Structure 1
Amino acid sequence: MLIEWGRKLSRADGDEWPAAAWSFLCFFALLAAYYVLRPLRDEMGIQLGPDALKELFSAVFVSMVVLVPIFGWLTKRFERRQLLPWLYTFFAANLVGFNGVLLVEGHQSPWVARTFFVWVSVFNLFAISVFWSFMADLFSTKQAQRLYGFIAAGGTAGALCGPVLTASLVKPLGPNGLALVSAGLLMLCVGAIWRLRHWHATHPRLDIEDSAQQAENDEAAFQGSLFSGVIDVVRSPYLLGICGFLFAYALLSSLLYFQQAELVPKQFQNSADRTQLLAGVDLLVNVVTLLIQLGAFAPLIRLLGTRALLVAMPMASVLGFTALALWPTIGVLVVLGVVRRAGEYAISKPARETLFNVLPPVQKYRAKNVIDTLVHRTGDTSSIWLLSGLRSLGVQSQALLWLAVPICVAWLLIAWLLGGKAAAMQDQRHLHP
């Protein structure tokens, strides 16, 4: 009965159901493992204080610059379905190691907090980003159109489960126990990948054309992507506009991170209480995101168009940062954080992804790869350093919050212009296909 219901829900045909079910479980376990760790990471960032954020974000950026070429080399040398079990097992072993370190040193140790913060950020970058590439190796385009919604729902369920586990278990188990919980979830993910590898061995892809196109897309994304993609971005006002959109979002997100590091310790002195708060915020963000994804995004983009969805979060941010500047309290901070993060996941990011659809295929993959990695992480790091510099000059938190309002207005203007330009380029493509 349950299997039959799952088949209908996943829209799986024939022998696809085992692959759909194992993919659902794999993505569930992966995102649950990450969201168990995320509140711990943010709590350790709060312990270190606002002044340490620039060092943490810089360390994440440097780690990315060093590891991305190594990871690219590994993906070229080994097939993703061969690489993933060992990658996730390696991360799980790291978490077992963190369990021992946390038992000995405690999570209050500055060097442990710094290492854990950077490690979780790197884990997020590599472990989650490669999952969908693995799915692309398993399924054809037609299969993906039917199955990806069901598989994505597994990730959403995991993103909801992870914060619940953290909030429930942080006091009885402590941070070291939660590291083992996350490691166990990663090993569940590894088990699902082995089952998917077995399924793929008996159900090879027959869509030669789709496989060739995927290979071409991967080649465009990796081969010469850095230099060629940077040139593409610099020469295109449209792509520079997308970079400006991302930088404004990163700058405002960094400012909220500073506010969180200042306000949360004033309200909650106990580390476990702070971790429970952050897990609760993650849970609320994921619930709101899911509701918007299921019930609002598709009708909104059909009714209002891409431009309206691009400007939605900048408009909300104008109101939110004004409110936070007037009433710098934990309640206003939480509401603004939930609205911005849920809006980014469910509205801004899907709408922003459509901006690349109007580009030529090769440029789309090269430029998108550069923007999603180099530009995005550079925006995070540079914005942290900029805000740290202003704080070191004596600019107070409330003044920074008021400074955020015109940045929100500039962000809104960029979003409006990008939406208009994308529509014009789409019309041009229809006139001259």
Structure 2
Amino acid sequence: MPPQQERRRTMEAALCFFMLLAGYYVLRPVREEMGIEGGVDQLQWLYTGTFVVILAVVPVLSWMIARLRRRAAVPVVYGFFVLNLLVFYALAPRLGPDARVVLARVIYVWVSVFNMFAISLFWALMTDLFSVAQSKRRFGLIAAGGSAGAVVGPLVTGSLARSLGPMPLLLVAAGLLLAATLGIARLGQAMRLEAGRADEALGGRWWEGALLLVRSPQLLGIAGYVVLHTTVSTFLYFEQANIVAGALHDPGERTELFAAIDLGSNLLALGLQALVTAGLARRYGLGFLLWSLPAIGMAGFVALAIAPVLVVLVAVQVLRRAIDFALAKPAREILFTGVTPAERYKSKLVIDTVVYRGGDVVSAWAFAGLTGLGLGLGAVAAVGVPVAVVWGAVARFLGQRATAAQRDADGG
């Protein structure tokens, strides 16, 4: 790909990711408040519901990907998500109080499912469009576009939530997602212009992604990294829900706090992506980027074990999520540039949805079990420390494999 075309493609991709994450982050603070209003002791059930829905949707989506051209599959799925939001908005004023509670829980699960599929498919398309070398140069900038959208989304929610209420925000999110859909469709056209890059349907069966996963040490390593990531993230999420519920009692204040956490972490991530991600990847390699997040997880659990209070929680969450978006997430996506198209779309979809949310469910019930045994929030945080240590070891393994693969590709 000529440098000028590469730069143009990068800017288009960054704009699409901006729209996608802006739409998601319009919805996210509302979802968090819905989770607390439903009772923090019920969160594990919402996690379980999300996992069940993903188990039902993955075969359908895998079937579509097997039969549609790759560049067409992503905008078709995004268009379906836009339609869902419009249906939710149309239903809300027609439902009674009890049914609206059910709809709120459905929207909570839907946002979680949407986040998994939409972002996974976006990065799958990016790894199709960019080579390994190009991805190291450009993925940080593309991720920065997403972080900019993730800054705008909470600002929109914070400014409109009190005056409009949550349901009109569904239309705002639908408009942003529609813009992302149109941009992705345009970007996908470039695949036909790439010399030697076919855009045929992948074919195969819907379960092929799981089979490819269990047969590949590389994919199994990525799956292990993701499971440990979800374990740490879920423990911190439940710590957040419990600490915030105990510290703040007004729903509006809690929603504003969640939006502020989103805004702070995304601003920090945007700065890191724009200034340091590409340089760190070139100088220290993917292993360092992958390891940075477990290191923050270890430090965060130690801090919460000592002082499980709101100010510590906010600091840990802002720093952890910024490092995830700016360093670890781009590094995980770069790992997929060296696999086959079938592994990139089918197995990646399984990892980013079934494996990810499966880890969420197990971790959610583990947290509920630990607190049910009488452990306080500080003690549960201490349990998370060895999990983060193992996670760091897996990150080191993946980094070593990536370095060896790059050395082989360079001829020595």
Q: TM-score, normalised by structure 2?
A: 0.82
Task: Give the greater-gyration-radius structure (CA).
Answer: 1
Is the Cα contact below 8 Å between 1:140 and 1:207 reproduced in 2? Answer: no
Indicate how the Cα distance of structure 1 residues 221 and 293 shifts in structure 2: closer, same or farther if over 3 A, else same: farther
The answer (yes or no) to whether the contact 2:117–2:349 under 8 Å persists in 1 is no
Deviation at 1:117, TM superposition (A): 0.8
Per the TM alignment, residue 226 of structure 1 is displaced from its structure 2 partner at its CA by 1.7
Gaps of 5+ in 2: none
One of 50, 57, 61 as aligned partner of 1:71? 61
Q: Which moved more, 1:378-387 or 1:389-398?
A: 389-398
Shift of 1:304: 2.7
Is 2:55 the partner of 1:47?
no
Aligned to 1:207: 194
For 1:320, the aligned partner's letter is G
Match of 1:312 among 292, 296, 304: 292
SS in 2 for 1:205: helix
Residues 1:22 and 1:361: Cα distance change in structure 2 (over 3 Å):
closer
Q: Does 1:228 align with 2:219?
A: no
Matching residue of 2:366: 386
The one-letter code matched in structure 1 to 2:209 is: S
After TM superposition, give the deviation of residue 307 of structure 1 in Å: 3.1
**Which residue in 2 is equivalent to 1:130?**
121
Q: How many residues align?
A: 407
1:172 maps onto 2:159 in alignment = no
Question: Per the alignment, do residues 23 and 160 of structure 1 end up closer, same or farther by CA in structure 2, a change over 3 Å counting?
Answer: same
Counterpart-to-counterpart distance in 2, 1:360 and 1:327: 46
Deviations 1:291-310 (A, max 9, x none): 11111122223333333333
Shift of 1:335: 1.0
93-102 vs 364-373, which moves further: 364-373
Q: Which residue of 1 aligns with 2:233?
A: 253
Note the aligned Cα RMSD (angstroms).
3.9
Equivalent position SS for 2:308: coil
Match of 2:48 in 1: 58
1:229-308 to 2 correspondences below 5 Å:
229-230=213-214, 232-233=215-216, 236=217, 240-308=220-288
Which residue identity lines up with residue 233 of structure 2 in the other structure? S
TM-score (norm: length of structure 1) = 0.79
- Judged with a 3 Å threshold, the aligned counterparts in structure 2 of structure 1 residues 141 and 248 are, in CA distance, closer, same or farther, namely closer
Instruction: List gaps (5 residues or longer) in structure 1.
Output: 1-9
In 2: Cα distance, 1:21 partner to 1:364 partner: 22
Q: Identity over aligned residues, as a percent?
A: 39
* Alpha-carbon spacing, 1:304–1:174, altered in 2? closer, same or farther (3 Å): same
Q: Which amino acid aligns with 1:43?
A: E
In structure 2, the residue corresponding to 1:210 is in which secondary structure?
A: coil
In the alignment, what sits opposite 1:7? Answer: none
Residue range with higher mean Cα deviation, 221-230 or 300-309: 221-230
Query: 1:315 & 1:140 partners in 2: Cα distance?
Result: 29
Shift in Å at residue 37 of structure 1?
0.4
Which stretch of the first structure deviates more once superposed, 48-57 or 325-334? 48-57
**Post-superposition shift, 1:102?**
4.4
Further displaced range: 158-167 or 64-73:
64-73
On the 8 A contact 1:220/1:366 being kept in 2, the answer is no
Instruction: Answer with 296-305 or 98-107: which moved more.
Output: 98-107
